[in-house]
Amino acid sequence: MSPKSRLLLPVLSLLVLTLACALPSTPEPSDAIATHVAQTLAAVGGGPSSTPEPDQPTDVPATAEPPTPTPTPIPLHIVYVSDGNVYLWIEGGSPTPVTSTGDAEDIKISDDGQVIAFARQVDDTHEELWAVNSDGTNLRNLVNAADFDAMATDPDALTTNLAEFDWVPGTHTLAFNIHPIYEGPGYFVYNDLRLVDADTAAQTLLLPEGQGGRFHYSPDGSQLAVVTSEQISILNADGSNRRDVLSFPIILTYSEYIFYPQPVWTPDGNALRIVIPPHDSLVDPKPPSAVWHIPADGSAPTKLLDVVTIPFFVDVPALSPDAQKIAYLQAVTPGDDMNRELHLVNADGSEDTMYDTGNIRFEAWSPPAEHFIYSQNGENPKVGQLGTSPAPIGGASQIRDVTWIRDNEYLYLNRESGSWELWYGSLGGFNSLIDSSSGVLISYDFTP
């Protein structure tokens, strides 16, 4: 995420958005669902066009090359899971059911809006990876429970499940990695990387166990950063030309999970930047987090700055999507991590500004890093901008999972009177309720 993405790793509880009307639980989407989605797509300009092609000019020489068509931008597509089913909301339309299996969890939509991938919980220990076309047709299994069983390498593990999955930019190929399932507590990733073609279901082991990790593709999909608990590497997207660019001490979590720092690619794909918390965030005096600039060509990384923050497991310093700014929280009084200062600083360490104080939780940067959303630990959310006073997000009481989708627009979950609401907000003050439920939301995603 930016998603779609917001998280104390997969050990945190997932949120599930439950609709008031329940759908029948069947293994395939019904004809009614597919027809409903097709009608919605046609109404908002998505899907196959029924408009006849205009006549071709008759005076074009037979040898002339046809003009290259200009791609038509697709309207915003938002997908989400409610009551175990996949729903699609297209800008200008209403939510439409896409599946009726009743067991969907995490979800991702391809860049072209044509394919939706989602995890299905098939029993207490097994997940599967599935896909469906956004018009509700061709529900298909990509990686089944037997496939995941066969991937297990630890004899003490019951099986393996998805750790994370996402689309390779601009393709219908999904990248994913796995983690073992044990009877007791404990969570770690096998540090592999696998691919599956969502059109053909063909699987590929790109990086074997120990060679992969948490994965982050460059904006054009040509390069790949893999992150483990102690190292960052950059590779070509086909797995070649590996550059091990930065090593660091493992970061103590004081819990059963392992922490993986999250890099941000620069928009041109020539470098990435990353915040590395200290080895131990609880010692006094508190050691700083380090901000690194890592060239993609494998040349030596540069430390941009050190900054002392509250412990990373309370709030991780947030790089903006363009990798130019950092938001971090610092205790007003040493030892009191509940009363915090919100600082905004350029990634090179210049122009550090204290913006607000309180029990602050930083939520998300806008893409150009001009605006940001923060809250008082989830309550009273506000939109901030350097040099101006923050503006409350009207009607939001307990905000979660904020994601900016455009320069001036964002998505968020809101807890209101016992219900969860999925909202589409804008800087102009126009907020639109997409859906609401008394349940818990698991996942949402959107086309870029």
Q: Residue 92: its pLDDT value, please?
A: 86
For residue 369 the two structure tokens come to: 């890093």
Q: Kindly tell me if the per-residue pLDDT of 338 is higher than 70.
A: yes
Q: Residue 349: its pLDDT value, please?
A: 93
Q: Residue 70: its pLDDT value, please?
A: 57
d(CA 5, CA 260): 14
- If one counts every other C-beta atom within 10 angstroms of the C-beta of residue 226, the result is 26
Q: Residue 12: its pLDDT value, please?
A: 30
CA atoms within 13 A on the CB side of 403: 20
Contact partners, residue 189, CB within 8 Å, separation at least 6: 163, 177, 178, 179, 213, 214, 258, 260
Q: Kindly tell me if the per-residue pLDDT of 183 is higher than 90.
A: no
d(CA 240, CA 98): 38
pLDDT tens-digit readout, 354-386: 999 999 999 999 999 999 999 998 889 999 999
Q: Residue 50: its pLDDT value, please?
A: 37
Q: Residue 418: its pLDDT value, please?
A: 75
Q: Residue 333: its pLDDT value, please?
A: 84
Q: Residue 293: its pLDDT value, please?
A: 98
Q: Kindly tell me if the per-residue pLDDT of 15 is higher than 60.
A: no
d(CA 119, CA 103): 8
Look at the alpha carbons of 166, 169, 170, 174 in this order and tell me if their dihedral is positive or negative. Answer: negative
pLDDT tens-digit readout, 198-243: 999 999 999 999 999 999 999 999 999 999 999 999 999 999 999 9
Burial class (CB in 10 A: 0-12, 13-18, 19+), 358: middle
pLDDT tens-digit readout, 95-150: 999 999 999 999 999 999 999 999 999 998 899 999 999 999 999 999 999 999 99
Q: Residue 154: its pLDDT value, please?
A: 86
Q: Kindly tell me if the per-residue pLDDT of 73 is higher than 60.
A: yes
Q: Residue 62: its pLDDT value, please?
A: 43
Burial class (CB in 10 A: 0-12, 13-18, 19+), 351: exposed
Across the range 82-107, mean pLDDT stands at: 92
- Ramachandran bin of 146, using left for φ above 0, alpha for ψ from -120 to 50, beta for the remaining angles: alpha
Across the range 313-328, mean pLDDT stands at: 95
Across the range 333-340, mean pLDDT stands at: 80
pLDDT tens-digit readout, 396-440: 878 999 999 999 999 999 887 777 889 999 997 778 899 887 776
Q: Residue 71: its pLDDT value, please?
A: 62
Q: Residue 5: its pLDDT value, please?
A: 39
Q: Residue 69: its pLDDT value, please?
A: 58
Q: Tokens 């904006």: give the residue.
A: 219
Across the range 333-341, mean pLDDT stands at: 82
Q: Kindly tell me if the per-residue pLDDT of 74 is higher than 90.
A: no
Order the strands of the 77-82 sheet from edge to edge: 96-97, 85-90, 77-82, 444-446
